[in-house]
A and B are shown apart, each in its own frame.
Chain A
Amino acid sequence: MMNRKNYIYILCCTCLFVLFSCRHGEGEYHGVTDRIEAESKNYHGTSISSEKYLEGIKTIEITEGEHTFLIPERKNQITSYACTECHSKPLTQMQGKDAKNAHWDIKLVHANKNTMNCITCHNPDNMDNLTSLTGNNIDFNNSYNLCNQCHTKQFKDWKGGAHGKRLAGWAPPRASMTCVNCHNPHKPHFESKWPERFNTETVKERE
């Protein structure tokens, strides 16, 4: 009789022990992904805003698919806009020896000659706008629409926020840099350079 009582007592203790030891104090969620999913279900927004960091930056709002966000205005950043201020005559008349040289510093390093030349993007008959592959006008402010004709994957990532950089901060409203803020459209690749920093102390430590 006594034996049996003891047995039950030990069994109960073991059960309790197992019950408590299963919780290693890891909190309510199994992982951070579960936590994100659960806690964002009733997301109400925060009081943090990055609006004050956007002051002084001219932006325009764009909507692409399900994404709506701000991008910096482009036209006011182009020093020689509007183009028609110089391009008052057709291009053929402006070429030649007596005309002043302009755009001499632009060399097209973007795709190969079969794919691209100046008029792939610029319309000689309408210099103030860009032109799509099918000849439609594209505003300089929305130049991403020109790029996304070929760079569809990058465009998709950019819309979502995986490609490119944010302006201001992480907090809403979302303001993202557009293609031409990082890539020179005439020479879009990133140059190689030397690293910004070299840690001489680490070298000493590892000697």
Chain B
Amino acid sequence: MSSDNKKWFSLNLNRKKKESSGTCGCGKTSGGCGSYSEHPQMTDEEFAEAAINASIGEERTKDGFDQVFDVKMDRRSAFKKLTASLLIGAGAVSTSCSVISGDESKEKAQIDWEEQFKGNYKLMDDDEKKGTVERLMRSYELRTGKNISMSSKNAEDDVLFGYAFNISKCQGYMDCVNACVEENNQDRNSQMQYIRIHEMKDGKGFNFNEADDNYYHEVPAEGHFYMGTQCFHCDNPPCVEVCPVQATWREDDGLVVVDYDWCVGCRYCMAACPYDGRRFNWSKPEVPETEINKNQHYLGNRMRKKGVVEKCTFCVQRSRAGKNPACVEACPTGARIFGNLLDPNSTIRWVLENKKVFRLKEDLGTEPKFWYFMD
């Protein structure tokens, strides 16, 4: 079956398979198997293929437009499908307009409807932002019976967030990674992590090819140093430039954010990012109800869905409220410094002006707002 280059699959019922080495399907090499032609015996492989074919059919071999348009369909099934989709649509309308169904399901349908047709967050005015945030909070309440608080706080004037990382202080404890995962409701199943701590050999420079970012031994290890990477919130972000739907952009306070409801999951941004700063949700993110951080921001740690890109937001829900990002707060060695780059008296400015700082891949012109320094 797999040897011929047919792009489709056909069950060879009542058809003799070409015999390649004198054996037939039942494994006998001589004498023939009488029952073969009436009851074709499938090997496991064939069975699996047939099963896949039955469930997803031609979608496997066709892609793009072909999947939708190049479908053999007679009038009858076309009408059938049209009627089905009409019924679904009518169902949605009738739930929201019906006098019989409960208020809650009506409200749910109404929220879903409005969420489905809302615009890009970047283009919303403050009332619209408040509206969508309220809908999302209400929707969560209707679905789970629990309350979350979600903010739509905008960037403040005279604020530009910046970050400094002290390479000589980091001991590789990974408290920051833990704090980040808990704060930002990252998928526990795929163990998504925004922060990577790279264990590098002394004397080899910043050699990311030989560095280990998933070590498990007592740290700090002899002859190694540690360096963390995450989204650097570039001032000239290439990920923003490539997004075909403008679902990611740089806010006025310098944070590069994603509208998870606008993202189409093309992952161009992941390809464009030279720092591996973005993560993709290959499956629906799962966080145990008890572990969900209910202090959320629309652009930050609210629950994501399958098929969208996410990334570090410098904990927008915390930083816009005056707090330090979770990683900064969790770091036991004080290797992480965060603050307002526009405030001449801020500690981050003192670091930039008094320590010898550098950034990763400065020659690319991405202008990251994440500096490294040493004691």
Minimal beta-carbon separation of A22 from chain B (angstroms):
15
CB of A165 within 8 A of CB of B219, answer no
Interface string of B212-233 (1 = CB under 8 A from A): 0111111110000000000000
Partner of A46, one of B158, B162, B169, B375: B158
Beyond A199-B214, A201-B190, is A48–B321 a contact (Cβ under 8 Å)? yes
What residues of B have a CB within 8 angstroms of the CB of A186 in the complex? Answer: none
Number of interface residues of A (CB under 8 A): 50
CB of A170 within 8 A of CB of B218, answer no
- Which of A9-17, A28-36, A78-86, A134-142 is near enough to bind chain B? A28-36
Q: How far is the CA of A165 from the CA of B174 in the complex (A)?
A: 17
- Which of B2-10, B65-73, B256-264, B343-351 is near enough to bind chain A? B343-351
Interface string of B238-278 (1 = CB under 8 A from A): 00000000000000000000000000000000000000000
Main secondary structure of the interface of A (DSSP, over half): loop
What residues of A have a CB within 8 angstroms of the CB of B303 in the complex? Answer: none
Which chain A residue has the least Cβ–Cβ distance from B339?
A170
A56 within 8 A of B: no
A90 within 8 A of B: no
B194 within 8 A of A: no
Q: How far is the CA of A50 from the CA of B181 in the complex (A)?
A: 24
What residues of A have a CB within 8 angstroms of the CB of B340 in the complex? Answer: 46, 170-171
Interface string of B144-166 (1 = CB under 8 A from A): 00000000000011111010101
Which chain B residue has the least Cβ–Cβ distance from A48?
B322
Q: How far is the CA of A47 from the CA of B172 in the complex (A)?
A: 35
Number of interface residues of B (CB under 8 A): 65
Q: How far is the CA of A28 from the CA of B222 in the complex (A)?
A: 47
Which chain B residue has the least Cβ–Cβ distance from A182?
B334
CB of A195 within 8 A of CB of B215, answer yes
A92 within 8 A of B: no
What residues of B have a CB within 8 angstroms of the CB of A192 in the complex? Answer: 171, 218-220
A26 within 8 A of B: yes
B115 within 8 A of A: no
Q: How far is the CA of A52 from the CA of B349 in the complex (A)?
A: 23
Query: Most A CB atoms within 10 A — which of B158, B171, B375?
Result: B158
Q: How far is the CA of A163 from the CA of B354 in the complex (A)?
A: 12
B residues sitting closer than 8 Å to A (CB atoms) are 156-160, 162, 164, 166, 169, 171-175, 177-178, 181, 190-191, 193, 213-220, 235-236, 318-324, 328, 331-334, 337-352, 354-355, 367-369, 373, 375
15 A/B residue pairs, CB under 8 Å, sorted by A = A32-B367, A45-B343, A46-B343, A160-B354, A162-B354, A163-B334, A166-B324, A166-B347, A168-B323, A169-B324, A170-B340, A182-B334, A193-B219, A195-B215, A197-B177
Known contacts A39-B160, A48-B320; 16 further A-B pairs (Cβ under 8 A): A31-B235, A32-B341, A36-B160, A36-B349, A43-B343, A48-B321, A50-B322, A157-B375, A160-B350, A163-B169, A166-B337, A166-B347, A170-B324, A182-B332, A195-B172, A197-B193
A residues sitting closer than 8 Å to B (CB atoms) are 26-27, 31-32, 35-36, 39-40, 43-50, 52-53, 153, 157, 160-166, 168-172, 174, 176-177, 182, 190, 192-203, 206
